[in-house]
Structure 1
Amino acid sequence: MADKFRIISWNLRHTIGAGAVQVSELIAQTRPDLMLMQEVEETMAALPAQLGGNYTRIALPGRHHGLAAWSPHDFTAQPGGLDLQPGLIVRRVCQLLECGGFTVANVHLSHGQWLNRRQLRRIAAQMPERAAILGDCNMIGAPFLPGFADVGARIATHRMSGMVPLRLDRCFLRGVDCLYATVLPRGASDHHPLLVDVR
């Protein structure tokens, strides 16, 4: 791995949130090695035409949106997915990406506070020793995830009903060091992008 590997995770807010133009602008400004996205519609497939690089998307079962990732680098293995314990309404999956020396899980977990922690533990059990889990965890409070460090910036990433500040977007690392973490302006979404530099 290079001296620094930059990852951004952003819940775009499907239908009315950030689109390919806003994502392209953020990538141009921040130059990530990996851009993770949640609530991504099919139209985001235009991203490589604007920026080059590699793009992959996995839809949530029965939904028009899902999880996606863009990178200027080649993925070192075919991106995959993992079915998670279903919620009452939405069936959840996570996206698994091999990034040259460690594995990244792109997640959008359920709202239930017991269920999302079960989903997180299921993901962690499938990950190798060097691993990162990032995304919209819909989680309030401690994750109870042994072996992983919660390294995301301790700043609210979402305001429920536009008022209550919550830190829903997280980054958990195992066997990987965090060099820097912050949140970025939210733009057209209702979530702030989470930026982490790892090594």
Structure 2
Amino acid sequence: MFVALLVRATSGPPTVFHQRRVGEGEREFTLYKFRTMRCDCQGPEVTGGADARVTGTGRLLRRFSLDELPQLWNVLRGDMTLVGPRPEVPHLAHRYPPNCRWVLRHRPGLTGPCQLRTRSDATLLDGRPDPEEYYLTVLVPHRVALDAEFLAHATLPDVVRLIARTFWYVLSAVRRDARTAHTVEGGGSRCAP
């Protein structure tokens, strides 16, 4: 509720963003997220690290993965699972390299090895003349390889471990931000170039 109120107060309506995504067996479903981008901007289907469409509040929500919370509804509905491949937009899913399309047969997850280990990939899209093409030819094969490694041994302990790593990532992001704020406010030599 707090996140919804924050988005509404800083960015206006709508609070929740919904978009068609490709799910298990390449069937489409509606994915829900807290809105992190401006409504009046057009651009590529992929979001770079310095994408001007992302709001200030949106950057904060993305840093802590709080924008993903409404996807718990997708998990409850059976569209998604807690751990699995990243859900893809249809426009990009249809353009996946042929040797990567197999991943679209699997139920997408709220978190997973791809979501955890490729978080910084968004910065690789910045300044590319065609960020979608770079995403499809360079990033997708890498992400699908991570998913293949997980799906080959998707045991209950592996699922629990990835959920724990997701919580740890969020808590670590909070601690990193708190340390950064303390260092900047302290004005000590640690801030000097």
What's the TM-score once normalised by structure 1's chain length?
0.28
The structure with more helix, counted as a fraction of residues: 2
Greater C-alpha radius of gyration? 2
What's the TM-score once normalised by structure 2's chain length?
0.28
The structure with more strand, counted as a fraction of residues: 1
